Chain A
Amino acid sequence: EAGVVQSPRYKIIEKKQPVAFWCNPISGHNTLYWYLQNLGQGPELLIRYENEEAVDDSQLPKDRFSAERLKGVDSTLKIQPAELGDSAVYLCAVVAGEETQYFGPGTRLLVL
């Protein structure tokens, strides 16, 4: 987890409300990922960035999810409007060393 800060750590919202998550890695990591992790499952890729460019967003539900990575460092992931099924942990990861991914602690979202 060292080097990747995510906020907030927990978020509870009502359905149809918007929500945003932030990922703040230390600088120098060109590749950044957002993952969704459902209870009892492994992480599933939502979007991958190379610097500012989203190079793989094929798994991102674009009708309600959006993401951006300005200046190629920090990134935000937004859901608008949130649905009950969006309750999950949202993980941010960066690549360092030999193609290894380092994860932040995640944001746990609960949609009521």
Chain B
Amino acid sequence: GEDVEQSLFLSVREGDSSVINCTYTDSSSTYLYWYKQEPGAGLQLLTYIFSNMDMKQDQRLTVLLNKKDKHLSLRIADTQTGDSAIYFCAERYSSASKIIFGSGTRLSIRP
């Protein structure tokens, strides 16, 4: 069935790298997304990767896609306090314009 799994929490020290992991089920997914949600706000699109790519880098963000294992990760370099938020992984099914979201990973930054 349709499912996107993420770990619930991640705590990192300020200045270190954060790696948020996600697994998904649909091998025919076309796009995979990472969204950021701060308290009281909607979801902000951070980055996305097309399924025929292995990696995408955008400033401090690096997305890695392992299609064989259906594993997606988001690496945030030099994590700052402003990166504290909930990060959602999402996949878009090729059969329909439907996007399935994970439950989110809460990233907390310690000094």
Contact = CB atoms under 8 A, between A and B. Distances in A.
B24 interface: no
Given A31-B97, A42-B90, A56-B98, A101 B103 contact: no
Nearest to A9: B40
A103 B90 CA distance: 14
Contacts of A93: 43
Contacts, number: 60
A104 B31 contact: no
Chain B at the A interface: SS class: strand
User: In which size bucket is the chain B interface?
Assistant: 20 to 34
Interface string B72-91: 00000000000000001010
B31 A99 contact: yes
Interface in B6-45: 30-31, 33, 35, 40-45
A103 B103 contact: no
A40 interface: yes
A99 B92 contact: yes
A42 B103 contact: yes
A1 B38 CA distance: 12
A27 interface: no
Interface in A13-64: 31, 40-45, 48, 55-56
Interface of A: 1, 4, 6, 31, 40-45, 48, 55-56, 91, 93, 95, 98-106, 108
21 contacts: A1-B42, A41-B103, A42-B4, A43-B101, A45-B99, A48-B97, A48-B98, A55-B97, A56-B96, A56-B98, A95-B97, A99-B30, A99-B31, A99-B92, A100-B48, A101-B33, A102-B45, A103-B42, A103-B44, A105-B41, A106-B41
